[in-house]
Structure 1
Amino acid sequence: MIRLATRMFVYKEFYEEYKKRHDELWDEMQQTLKSHGAHNYSIFLDEQNGYLFAYVEIEDTEKWAAISDTAICRKWWEYMAPLMKTNEDNSPVAVSLKPVFYLA
């Protein structure tokens, strides 16, 4: 498994809505994540500053990257865009984090 971590940002007034939308994650989006090799996907919120920390284990980087080409992923990005900082294509602005320690 390949471990990935990213940092994103959600606007303070949308903390609860962000959580609600993930609690109600569409079945098709969930299946797409899994079919693109996602395991143990977690997102954590720092309520003091709006930063999100996302952690996911993936099977393959190319398989994972291909998720952005799916219609359901683009629909999810559009749905989430009003709540967070995004790029022009509605994908979340995500900063990859460098691993510095791991204890198995």
Structure 2
Amino acid sequence: MHRLALKMKLHAGKAAEYKRRHDELWDDVKQLLKDSTVSDYSIFLDEETHILFATLKVKDLDKFAQIPSHPVIKRWWEYMADIMETNSDNSPVSMDLKDVFYLA
């Protein structure tokens, strides 16, 4: 199992909308994540800086790496683009974080 962490950035004033959209996460996005071996996926918000911090576990990194090319994720990214920092393809601007400590 691979533990991953990343950070993204929300536009100021969009925290409630971000939470609402994730509370109503599309079933096909949930299924894609599960099919891509993602589990224990959490996203936290630093309300002071608008930084989103995500942690997740992935069994198969090859399956996980295919997520960005899936049409449902492209639609999700388009849906989220108005409330967070994104790249030109609407994918979230994100930075992988280095694992420096883990206590099981």
Q: How does the TM-score come out when normalised to structure 1?
A: 0.98
Measure, in 1, the Cα distance between the counterparts of 2:62 and 2:82: 28
Aligned residues: 104
Measure, in 1, the Cα distance between the counterparts of 2:60 and 2:33: 12
What 5-or-longer segments of structure 2 have no aligned partner? none
CA positional deviation for 1:40? 0.2
1:57 maps to 2:61: no
Alpha-carbon displacement from aligned partner over 1:8-42 (angstroms, at most 9, x marks no partner) = 00012111000000000000110011000100000
Q: Secondary structure at the match of 1:17?
A: helix
CA positional deviation for 1:71? 0.6
Segments ≥4 residues shifted beyond 2 Å = none
What 5-or-longer segments of structure 1 have no aligned partner? none
Measure, in 2, the Cα distance between the counterparts of 1:78 and 1:59: 27
Q: Which amino acid aligns with 1:5?
A: A
User: What residue number does 1:3 align with?
Assistant: 3
Whichever structure has more helix as a proportion of its residues is: 1
Q: How does the TM-score come out when normalised to structure 2?
A: 0.98
Percent identity reads: 51
RMSD of aligned alpha carbons? 0.6
